[in-house]
Chains A and B, each alone.
Chain A
Amino acid sequence: MPLAAHDASVPVVVDEAKCIAAKGCTVCVDVCPLDVLAIDLVRGSAFMKYDECWYCMPCEVDCPTGAVKVNIPYLLR
């Protein structure tokens, strides 16, 4: 069975201008209970890699620069 790629809007948005992943920060990636965030090494910024969000907000609250915003996933908005 070949696999199809599913596209979906992701709830967690990272402001690249504020994100300091390039300086070695991994706070949001560390705290996510569902491990859905990752660092884009090329852009030097965190991003939501998997659409598996519990909209619990540690990523946003613990981010030292206020770069992360958790939106409510579209399906339940």
Chain B
Amino acid sequence: MTMTVFDADPDELGVLAERARSADPGVRRVAMLALAETAEPEAATLLIGGLADDAAEVRAAAAQALEEHAGPQVIGALAAALEDPAPGVREAAAVALADRHEPDAAPLLIARATRGTPFARAAAFRALRELAAPAAGPVALAALTDASPTVRREAVAVLGWLRDPDTHAGLMRSAGDPEAEVRRAAMTALVSVRSGVPAVAALLSGLRDSDWQVREEAAATLARNRLAEAETALIRAMDDPVWQVQLKAAAALGRLRAVAALPMLAIALASEVSNLRREAAAALGEIADPAALPALHKVAADPDPEVRKTALWAIGRCGGGGAGH
């Protein structure tokens, strides 16, 4: 019977150390993978050594296995491996860094985020996001003008998680980034700016964006933060050519209890897309104005059960009887 207790077995570690020095790269690679299993610090040392192996597959295995080890040396080695000549090694290192949550890693990652290849900087920001380290703020702010859109997108995400008022202005500027993926990330991150005129302005520009996913995300953030200043723009968004944007706008108008949105929501009740009909009915239920009853009664017999149930609930909320709760 073999019981794995992840204990220090000096013999086993010795065997692995020997195999890690084998002339055969296949043997070295298998040794690297096995070192992920051992909790001993010596294993980490061997793996860091493996990152300097001649064979790319051995280095990739070492990077992968280092995810199971901790400490500044490990982080430093993985951060350096982000610039390995072999893409497989770089990716393994990026995954190993992003999958962990080691607050002590912040200074090393911040240093990594400021120099080197776009891939390495983006990976460093990706790992920094989870740490929400205040010291990452200035570096992320500076990266908002980076030449690489991926770096800018990851830096925007870092700022959202930081919730540092000093970085809000930068975040809002990113709402005007030339790349749609960055603007979309900015709309997502703006949820961290709970209120304030500039934030609303940035989100309203998002609501007029040429990219529908940016518009959708802007509406979602406006819904989440219940920004009443956006009511008129959201009502206008009910005219958006893309139903997904209308749907998020309807949800936002419901949360804002926007009585002025009744006519547009009533029109949406007649949409061909049942998801939108349901969301419009739900919004009318949230608003709970009896003036919506005639429109809601029309969809109380909708062929789609979800629309029907939501309409009946909304009718109840509007004081029209039925099974509200």
* A residues with CB within 8 A of B: 20, 22-25, 27, 64-65
B19, B30, B57, B61 interface centre (most CB from chain A within 10 Å) = B30
> Does the CB pair A22–B26 fall under 8 Å?
yes
The answer to the question of B27 belonging to the interface, with a C-beta cut-off of 8 Å to chain A, is yes
Q: How large is the interface on B (under 10, 10 to 19, 20 to 34, 35 or more residues)?
A: 10 to 19
In angstroms, Cα B33 to Cα A23, docked, is: 12
Contact assessment for B57 and A23 in the assembled complex, using a CB-CB cutoff below 8 Å: no
Chain A residue numbers with a CB within 8 Å of B30 are 20, 23-25, 64
The answer to whether B33 and A27 have CB atoms under 8 Å apart is yes
Count chain B CB atoms within 10 A of each CB in A25, A64, A65 and give the residue with the most. Answer: A64
Binding site for A on B (CB under 8 A): 19, 24, 26-27, 29-30, 33, 57, 61, 64
Measured CB to CB, the nearest residue on chain B to A27 is B33
Please give, as numbers and ranges, the residues of chain B lying within 8 Å of A22 by CB-CB distance: 26
Query: How many angstroms between the C-alpha atoms of A47 and B293 in the bound complex?
Result: 66
20 pairs of residues in contact across A and B, judged by CB atoms under 8 Å: A20-B26, A20-B29, A23-B26, A23-B27, A23-B29, A23-B30, A24-B19, A24-B27, A24-B30, A25-B26, A25-B29, A25-B30, A25-B33, A27-B33, A64-B29, A64-B33, A64-B57, A64-B61, A64-B64, A65-B57
Interface SS of chain A: loop
Cα–Cα, bound, A59→B146 (Å): 40
B27 neighbours in A (Cβ, 8 Å): 23-24
Q: How far is the CB of A11 from chain B (nearest CB, A)?
A: 25
- The A-B contact count (CB < 8 A) is 24
Chain B interface SS verdict (over half): helix
Interfacial chain B residues near A23, Cβ < 8 Å: 24, 26-27, 29-30
- In the bound complex, how far is the Cα of B64 from the Cα of A23, in angstroms? 18
Residue of B nearest to A23 (CB): B26
Chain B residues, Cβ within 8 Å of A64: 29-30, 33, 57, 61, 64
Residues of B with C-beta under 8 A to A27: 33
Instruction: Determine how close the nearest CB of chain A comes to the CB of B3; give it in whole angstroms.
Output: 15
Closest to A26 in B: B30
Chain A residues positioned under 8 Å from B26 (CB to CB): 20, 22-23, 25
- The residue in B24, B26, B64 that gathers the most chain A C-beta atoms within 10 A of its C-beta is B26
> How many Å lie between the Cα of A20 and that of B30 in the bound state?
8
- Within the complex, what minimum Cβ distance (angstroms) separates A68 from chain B? 15
Chain A residue at minimum C-beta to C-beta distance from B25? A23
Contacts A27-B33, A64-B30, A65-B57 supplied; 6 other A-B pairs, CB < 8 Å: A23-B24, A23-B27, A25-B26, A64-B29, A64-B33, A64-B57
CB distance from A14 to the nearest CB of B (A): 15
Complex: A51 Cα to B147 Cα, angstroms: 53
> Nearest 3 CB-CB pairs, A to B?
A23-B26, A24-B30, A25-B30
Output the least CB separation between A18 and chain B (Å): 11
A23 to B27, CA, bound (A): 5
A20 and B57 alpha carbons, distance in the complex (Å): 12
Return B77 CB to nearest CB of chain A, in Å.
19
Chain B residues within an 8 Å CB radius of A20? 26, 29-30
Q: Using Cβ atoms and an 8 Å threshold, which residues of chain A touch B24?
A: 23
Question: Chain A's nearest CB lies how many Å from the CB of B87?
Answer: 14
Tell me the bound Cα distance from A27 to B29 in angstroms. Answer: 12
**Assembled-state Cα–Cα distance A20/B28 (Å):** 11
B60 → A minimal CB distance (Å):
8
Query: How distant is the Cα of A64 from the Cα of B27 in the complex, in angstroms?
Result: 12
C-alpha gap A18/B33 in the complex (Å): 16
- Give Cα distance in the complex from A64 to B64, angstroms: 10
User: In this complex, what residue of B is CB-closest to A24?
Assistant: B30
Residues on the B chain within 8 Å of A65, using CB: 57
Which partner residue on chain B sits nearest A20 by CB separation?
B26
Q: How many angstroms from the CA of A20 to the CA of B61 in the assembled complex?
A: 13
